[in-house]
Structure 1
């Protein structure tokens, strides 16, 4: 079932979102300072391409202060606009009964887009 939902996701907008993440990742990796942020958007790209069947979990690593600082910088660099994009798509898709599973995936991606550092996608 996840395979069918992922195919429908790609056809109805998931590919566009994954391209958005990939382009922003490449642009961020141009500078040395942007490499950690580019790696996080690669994680978002993979999840945005195949969201069904993936879970987002905390790393539980001991570098919480660094994750907090990087997440705050991420909000300024682009996390908030990306999360708002997912929020808008999620609300739009949740209007219909058929779109509810896709809207839930957008809400999951919005949460990851706000706080990507310290999270692992399984």
Structure 2
């Protein structure tokens, strides 16, 4: 079921969404100061390609003050706009019954789009086995 949902997701928005995150990552990596946001953007872009069967957890050992400050800057510069885009897209996807799981996946991307630093993306089967706790 995860594979089918991931394929539908990929066709109806995941590919374009991931391209946006990858483009943002490239732009962020061009400047030395914004490389941490670029790396986080690549990580979120990979998650946006195949969200079903994976989830977001806090990094083991805590994110720390630098990640918190980086997330505050990210929210002010881009995070809020990306989150609004995810909400708008989720509303459009939820208009059909088939799109409801896609809308839920889009809403699942909001926390990591708001605060990408200090997060880790893990497979749900590993999480259930105790990894990432």
TM range (shorter): over 0.9
Aligned pairs (5 A) from 1:40-119:
40-119=40-119
Unaligned runs of 5+ in 1: none
| 8 Å contact kept, 1:61–1:118 | no
After the TM superposition, which segments of 4 or more aligned residues of structure 1 sit over 2 Å from their partners? 60-64
State the alpha-carbon separation in 1 of the partners of residues 62 and 114 from structure 2.
20
Aligned to 2:14: 14
Q: Give the CA RMSD over aligned residues.
A: 1.2
Unaligned runs of 5+ in 2: 123-133
Aligned pairs (5 A) from 1:34-45:
34-45=34-45
Q: Secondary structure at the match of 2:24?
A: helix
State the alpha-carbon separation in 2 of the partners of residues 39 and 63 from structure 1.
15
State the alpha-carbon separation in 2 of the partners of residues 20 and 63 from structure 1.
25
- C-alpha deviation, 1:97, in angstroms: 1.9
